[in-house]
Chain A
């Protein structure tokens, strides 16, 4: 099974590539030239054979959005898988345990209070300001939830989920309050955040996301063996030479970074970190050595598909992507609850 991992990865990457190409064609705007090969060729040669609108839709709307779906889907589902390994429970996903909400809480405060300083700083730092706030929110919630729910390496699942509910309630009430205080432009930002959307994709955001993902993945993706061993219990994992404390700390910081950045750029897109590992577990059992790298690809596939549906199903308007992921995620949440009813 373990030897086949490269094959599985290759096949799923191929699937992702096909889906991404298909997604380029989908949408309200129809390209004048129907072959992308021609368009790209024209772009590279920089001749004037393609219209400005074709160029704009492709390079500034569709492509950045597709890339963003791929990046955010991957980041969210890998952080979900890592958290599940650390909490030793398939219900631990960034949204259910309140990490997303924590990021939204601090982010929303930054949106409203940050307007006073925003005009004075360049665009790159706008994103960073929001990202840093969201990251801190995520990190803070993660630390609190972990401290409350885990003692001696064992997680109380009920407490874990309830602390998530508590943080979500706090974030919900605060954003509700902020909506009353905010001006029109901030209001738009806040609503966009609460529902989640990839509509704001730009190359700058993608670049920041890509850097964060490369940094986080280079540590996390290879930790499948460690997460497997931690299923034995943390002491037994230590006897196998796994530096458990160090790995847990890194998982906390890096998943907070991933979730914080995703929330800063795309708002509240829920359940990705729950759905993807759940499906992979059905196929590969809980072998993190396989499902961790696979979740990076399947997260992209899921979010890309969901985003393409969200912008085509009710065209020309767009339904928020968070609705679609929650629509898939909630039944899976219930399914896991029924399954693990006895062990809770």
Chain B
């Protein structure tokens, strides 16, 4: 559904990404992992059409982003960014409602209100719906924006695409798992998700495919059990590790340290 060839990006002669080829299929949950400065967020930004990429166009559902109708595109894809805007003097519901902006002109329809309620329930922010966004903690804000992104893609269109840049930052264990289950359910309906994660074990548990980046280059792009091997991980992260089978769910379990 999303295909990109030869993505390169350099900032002031310092190369951040070099010749990356990625393609993602329908219903796939692709997790991008890698050490700090590997270029994970930059790659995600490029794929989401936020900045200029190399000469080769990125195609989404066989069309380049330029060929898409700009009003139609937000119904098919959404992105959750690492939040840096901390001053939004609105209520939580108002912020989540922004996800429905592509759907209505002036007054939200009933479907918009329903979508907002549903997504707030999924990310557990319904109880704070009338609170000021600015009074929330980091993790709560994170969940409000996740609700906004979910609300944006709440429609009948098949094969949607969501980009998530470290959605689990600041979240407690319960919400980490809850959010990942929500994403997993989303992809099981035939949609696609591309997620940047730091936690390798969560990646191993939920990902269909893992893309391991280091210094702007792809080290490995394969199924989790192929990527998470002792040799690859300890070399890429420059830290000794042991990998065994998770006794609960039979996924690779990565334990760092000797």
Cα distance, A78 to B50, chains bound together (Å)? 30
Is there an interface contact between A235 and B81, defined as CB atoms closer than 8 Å? Answer: yes
Is there an interface contact between B85 and A231, defined as CB atoms closer than 8 Å? Answer: yes
> In the assembled complex, which residues on chain B have CB atoms less than 8 Å from the CB atom of A285?
89-91, 94, 132
> In the assembled complex, which residues on chain A have CB atoms less than 8 Å from the CB atom of B89?
281, 285-286
Q: Main SS of the interface on chain B?
A: loop
Tell me, rounded to whole Å, the shortest Cβ–Cβ distance linking A26 to chain B.
37
Interface set, chain A 280-316, CB cutoff 8 A to B: 281, 285-287, 289
Q: A241-B71, A287-B94 are in contact. Are A235 and B88 (CB under 8 A)?
A: no
Is there an interface contact between A2 and B84, defined as CB atoms closer than 8 Å? Answer: no
Cα distance, A212 to B101, chains bound together (Å)? 29
Query: Does A45 touch B at the CB level, under 8 Å?
Result: no
Is there an interface contact between B74 and A240, defined as CB atoms closer than 8 Å? Answer: yes
Is there an interface contact between A225 and B101, defined as CB atoms closer than 8 Å? Answer: yes
Q: Which of the residues B48, B94, B95 comes within 8 Å of A239, measured between beta carbons? A: B48
Is there an interface contact between B107 and A2, defined as CB atoms closer than 8 Å? Answer: yes
Query: Does B98 touch A at the CB level, under 8 Å?
Result: yes
Among A232, A240, A281, the most chain B Cβ lie within 10 Å of the Cβ of A240
Query: Does B78 touch A at the CB level, under 8 Å?
Result: yes
Query: Does B187 touch A at the CB level, under 8 Å?
Result: no
Interface set, chain A 211-265, CB cutoff 8 A to B: 222, 225, 228-229, 231-233, 235-236, 238-243
> In the assembled complex, which residues on chain B have CB atoms less than 8 Å from the CB atom of A286?
88-90
Is there an interface contact between B101 and A236, defined as CB atoms closer than 8 Å? Answer: no
Cα distance, A239 to B70, chains bound together (Å)? 10
Query: Does A343 touch B at the CB level, under 8 Å?
Result: yes
Cα distance, A243 to B132, chains bound together (Å)? 27
> In the assembled complex, which residues on chain A have CB atoms less than 8 Å from the CB atom of B94?
228, 285, 287
Cβ-closest chain B residue relative to A228: B98
Query: Does A151 touch B at the CB level, under 8 Å?
Result: no
Cα distance, A231 to B71, chains bound together (Å)? 20
> In the assembled complex, which residues on chain B have CB atoms less than 8 Å from the CB atom of A222?
106
Tell me, rounded to whole Å, the shortest Cβ–Cβ distance linking B167 to chain A.
14
Looking at chain B, what size class is its interface with the partner chain? 20 to 34
Number of A-B contacts (CB under 8 A): 68
> In the assembled complex, which residues on chain B have CB atoms less than 8 Å from the CB atom of A238?
50
Q: Which of the residues B71, B87, B98, B108 comes within 8 Å of A2, measured between beta carbons? A: B108
Q: A2-B107, A2-B108 are in contact. Are A242 and B101 (CB under 8 A)?
A: yes
Cα distance, A229 to B95, chains bound together (Å)? 8
Query: Does A48 touch B at the CB level, under 8 Å?
Result: no
Is there an interface contact between B88 and A232, defined as CB atoms closer than 8 Å? Answer: yes
Is there an interface contact between B152 and A240, defined as CB atoms closer than 8 Å? Answer: yes
Is there an interface contact between B102 and A235, defined as CB atoms closer than 8 Å? Answer: no
Q: Which of the residues A88, A233, A343 comes within 8 Å of B81, measured between beta carbons? A: A233
Mask of A14-42 contacts with B, CB within 8 angstroms, 1/0: 00000000000000000000000000000
Q: Which of the residues B86, B102, B107 comes within 8 Å of A241, measured between beta carbons? A: B102
Q: Which of the residues A240, A287, A289 comes within 8 Å of B102, measured between beta carbons? A: A240
Cβ-closest chain A residue relative to B51: A235
Is there an interface contact between B107 and A240, defined as CB atoms closer than 8 Å? Answer: no
Cα distance, A155 to B138, chains bound together (Å)? 22
Query: Does A3 touch B at the CB level, under 8 Å?
Result: yes
Tell me, rounded to whole Å, the shortest Cβ–Cβ distance linking A3 to chain B.
6
Query: Does B79 touch A at the CB level, under 8 Å?
Result: yes
Is there an interface contact between B87 and A343, defined as CB atoms closer than 8 Å? Answer: yes
Q: A233-B85, A235-B50 are in contact. Are A240 and B91 (CB under 8 A)?
A: no
Is there an interface contact between B98 and A232, defined as CB atoms closer than 8 Å? Answer: yes
Is there an interface contact between A240 and B108, defined as CB atoms closer than 8 Å? Answer: no
Among A238, A241, A285, the most chain B Cβ lie within 10 Å of the Cβ of A241
> In the assembled complex, which residues on chain A have CB atoms less than 8 Å from the CB atom of B84?
233
> In the assembled complex, which residues on chain A have CB atoms less than 8 Å from the CB atom of B88?
231-232, 286
Query: Does B255 touch A at the CB level, under 8 Å?
Result: no
Among B45, B91, B106, the most chain A Cβ lie within 10 Å of the Cβ of B106
Additional A-B contacts beyond A243-B70, A343-B86 (5; CB < 8 A): A228-B90, A233-B81, A235-B79, A287-B94, A289-B106
Between A and B, 15 residue pairs with Cβ closer than 8 Å are A2-B107, A3-B107, A225-B98, A225-B101, A228-B94, A228-B98, A232-B98, A233-B84, A236-B85, A241-B71, A241-B74, A241-B102, A242-B101, A285-B90, A287-B94
- Top 9 closest A-B pairs, CB basis? A241-B74, A286-B89, A241-B102, A233-B85, A239-B79, A231-B88, A240-B101, A225-B101, A235-B50
